[in-house]
Amino acid sequence: MHSIKRGIAATVAVAALALTGCSAGGGDDGPVGLDFWAWAPNVDKVVEIWNEQNPDIQVTVQKQDGGDPVITKLLTALKAGSGAPDLIQAEYQKIPTLVSSDALADISGDLDADVADEFADGLWSSVTLGSDAVYAVPQDSGPMMFYYREDIFEELGLEAPTTWDEYAEVAAAVHASDPSRYLGTFSANDAGWFTGLAQQAGASWWSIDGDAWGVDIDESPTQQVAEYWGGLVEEGVIDNKPMYTPEWNAGLNDGSQVGWLSAVWAPGVLSGNAADTAGLWRAAPMPQWDADAPATGAWGGSSTAVTTQTENQAAAAEFATWLNTDPEAVAAMADVMGIYPAATDAAAEALTTSPEFFSNQEDFYDVAAEAADTIAPFTYGPNVNVTFSAYNDEFAKAAEAKTSSAFLDAVAEMQQITVDDLENTGFTVE
Residues from 262 through 301 that contact another protein (CB under 8 A): none
Does 216 participate in binding another protein (rule CB under 8 A)? no
* Smaller CB separation from another protein, 365 or 395: 395
Does 195 participate in binding another protein (rule CB under 8 A)? no
Does 385 participate in binding another protein (rule CB under 8 A)? yes
Q: How far is the CB of 360 from another protein (least distance, A)?
A: 26
Binding test (CB under 8 A) with another protein, winner from 208, 278, 336, 348? 208
Q: How far apart are CA 91 and CA 304, in angstroms?
A: 9
Does 108 participate in binding another protein (rule CB under 8 A)? no
Residues from 354 through 383 that contact another protein (CB under 8 A): 382-383
Does 128 participate in binding another protein (rule CB under 8 A)? no
Quick one: DSSP state of residue 81?
T
3-state per-residue secondary structure call for 99-134: HHCCCECCCHHHCCHHHHHHCCHHHHHHHHCCCCCC
Binding characters for another protein, 319-358, by CB under 8 A (x = yes): ----------------------------------------
3-state secondary structure (DSSP) of residue 196: helix
Q: Which amino acid is at 158?
A: L
Does 4 participate in binding another protein (rule CB under 8 A)? yes
3-state secondary structure (DSSP) of residue 83: coil
Does 1 participate in binding another protein (rule CB under 8 A)? yes
Q: Which of 346, 348, 340 is nearest to 298 (CA)?
A: 340
* Smaller CB separation from another protein, 71 or 346: 71
Q: How far apart are CA 302 and CA 367, in angstroms?
A: 21
Binding test (CB under 8 A) with another protein, winner from 89, 256, 302, 304? 256
Distances (CA, A) of 124 to 86, 242, 359, 370, 376: 21, 31, 32, 18, 12
Binding test (CB under 8 A) with another protein, winner from 33, 54, 67, 75? 75
Q: How far is the CB of 239 from another protein (least distance, A)?
A: 11
φ and ψ at residue 35, rounded to 5 degrees: -95, 140
Q: Name every residue whose Cβ is closer than 8 Å to that of residue 288 and which is 6 or more positions away in sequence.
A: 162, 163, 164, 294, 295
Q: How far is the CB of 246 from another protein (least distance, A)?
A: 5
Bridge partners for 215 per DSSP: 206
Residue 145 near residue 288, CB atoms below 8 Å: no
Q: How far apart are CA 221 and CA 125, in angstroms?
A: 20
Q: How far is the CB of 169 from another protein (least distance, A)?
A: 26
Residue 161 near residue 259, CB atoms below 8 Å: no
* Smaller CB separation from another protein, 110 or 421: 421
Contact footprint for another protein (CB under 8 A): 1, 4-5, 8, 72, 75, 96-97, 99-102, 129, 131, 188-189, 208, 211-213, 240-242, 244-247, 250-251, 256, 308, 382-383, 385-386, 388-389, 392-393, 396-397, 399-400, 421, 424-428
